[in-house]
Structure 1
Amino acid sequence: MPKIEAGSVREHRAQRLAQLIDAAEELLEEGGAEALTAGAVAARAGIARNSIYRYFNSIDDLLELVVTREFPAWIDAVEQAIAAETTPTAQAAAYVRANLEQAARGTHGWRAALSRGSLSPSARERVRNLHVSLHEALARVVRELGQPQPELTVAVLQAVVDACIRRIDQGDDLATVSDFASGATRRLLADDDSPKRP
């Protein structure tokens, strides 16, 4: 049995996989997708080249792991932001804000570019499905609002999020973009359930 460097085999495996993803990210940031080879990843992570395939099947799989690495934390942050609000309109605005806050953490732009340009078609489809699962959180809120065109409402709100994320990726100020997007969301949803300002 190989020597493990954690409290359990499962923890050891998780640590090794994180090391490999870290190494892949460093190589991608330094040299782009062309720099990502099995030998380079193994050398950067300090792992034997033939051992890395215990953790993924191909470099394409590793690319997908890099692109999707932040999805669980992103989805969790959005769900928590929604749960912290008590009205559907406030929850929709929270969905928008939370997505923009996650995008502003600094790695969304290059991960999105990597997804568009370097993933296989099947991996891109899996990434798209992750986005769909995130959008379902917004769809639940919109259904509670009883909007006459719920699917169109979700599509328009998601378009606001996507456009504002692009602005953040281009360097716009998070607070400014977030205030704009939240206001646009409330106006679109005819915000009757929020306190009125004097």
Structure 2
Amino acid sequence: MPKIEAGSVHEHRAQRLAQLIDAAEAILNEDGVQSLTAGAVAARAGIARNSIYRYFDSIEDLLELVVTREFPAWTTAVEDAIAAETTPQARAAAYVRANIEQAARGTHGWRASLSRGSLSDRVRQRVRELHGALHSALEGVVAELGSAQPELTTAVIQAVVDACIRRIDQGGDPEEAASFAVRSVHRLLAPDAG
């Protein structure tokens, strides 16, 4: 049995998988997807090449792990921000701000770029499903608002978020983008805006 470097086999596997994902992220950031090979990841992580397949079946699976790595924390941050507010309008603003804050943490741009160009259909579908959880949170907020056009309201709020995240990905100021987005959503939801 291989020597484990943690308190349990489960902890060891989790640590090793994190090392492999970290190594893949470093390769992707420095050299791009064309340089992401099993050998490169194993060398970067400091383990034998054949050992990496204990943690995933293919480079495509590793790409999925890289691209989806931040979704659980992102979704939790957004849901927590929404739950901390007491009015539907404040929850809508919290949804907007929390998404932009998560994007501003620095890795969204290259992950989104990778998602657009280098993933299989199966992995793209997984990314869509994970985005669906965020979309569901927004739909819940819009339902509370009692909008006469909930689908359109949801789409417009999400479009504002997406535009501001793109701005951040291109080097824009996160606080400026968040402030703009929150003001835009407040105007959209103002009772006399219709």
TM surpasses 0.5: yes
| 1:11-160 correspondence runs (5 A) | 11-160=11-160
Q: How does the TM-score come out when normalised to structure 1?
A: 0.94
Corresponding residue of 2:182: 182
When the two structures are superposed, what TM-score results if normalisation uses the length of structure 2?
A: 0.96
Distance, in Å, in 2 between the alignment partners of 1:181 and 1:164 is: 7
**Deviations 1:42-90 (CA, angstroms, capped at 9, x unpaired):** 1110111111011111001101111111111111111111111100110
Alpha-carbon offset, residue 188 of structure 1: 0.9
- Which consecutive segments of 4 or more residues in structure 1 shift more than 6 A? none
In 1: Cα distance, 2:25 partner to 2:191 partner: 42
Opposite residue 85 of structure 1, the aligned amino acid is E
| Kept after mapping to 2: 8 A contact 1:97/1:178 | yes
Alignment RMSD (CA, Å): 1.1
**What is the CA distance between 1:2 and its match in structure 2?**
2.0
Local SS of the residue matching 2:115: helix
**Matches of 1:40 and 1:120, distance apart in 2:** 20
State how far apart, in whole Å, the 2-side matches of 1:91 and 1:30 are: 38
Q: Distance in 1 between matches of 2:13 and 2:54?
A: 9
Instruction: Classify the secondary structure of the residue corresponding to 2:4.
Output: coil
Opposite residue 123 of structure 2, the aligned amino acid is A
1:78 corresponds to which letter in structure 2?
V
Cα distance between partner residues in 1 of 2:51 and 2:82: 42
For the 8 Å contact 1:89–1:191, the answer to whether it is kept is no
Amino acid at match of 1:14: A
Give the partner amino acid of 2:91. Answer: Q
Q: CA deviation at 1:150?
A: 0.9
- Aligned mates of 1:55, 1:116 — CA distance in 2: 25
Structure 1 gap ranges (5+): 193-198
Counterpart Cα distance in 2 of 1:16 and 1:8: 12
Opposite residue 115 of structure 1, the aligned amino acid is S
- Identity among equivalent positions (%) equals 77
TM-superposed deviation, 1:149: 1.1
Whichever residue aligns with residue 150 of structure 2, its letter is: P
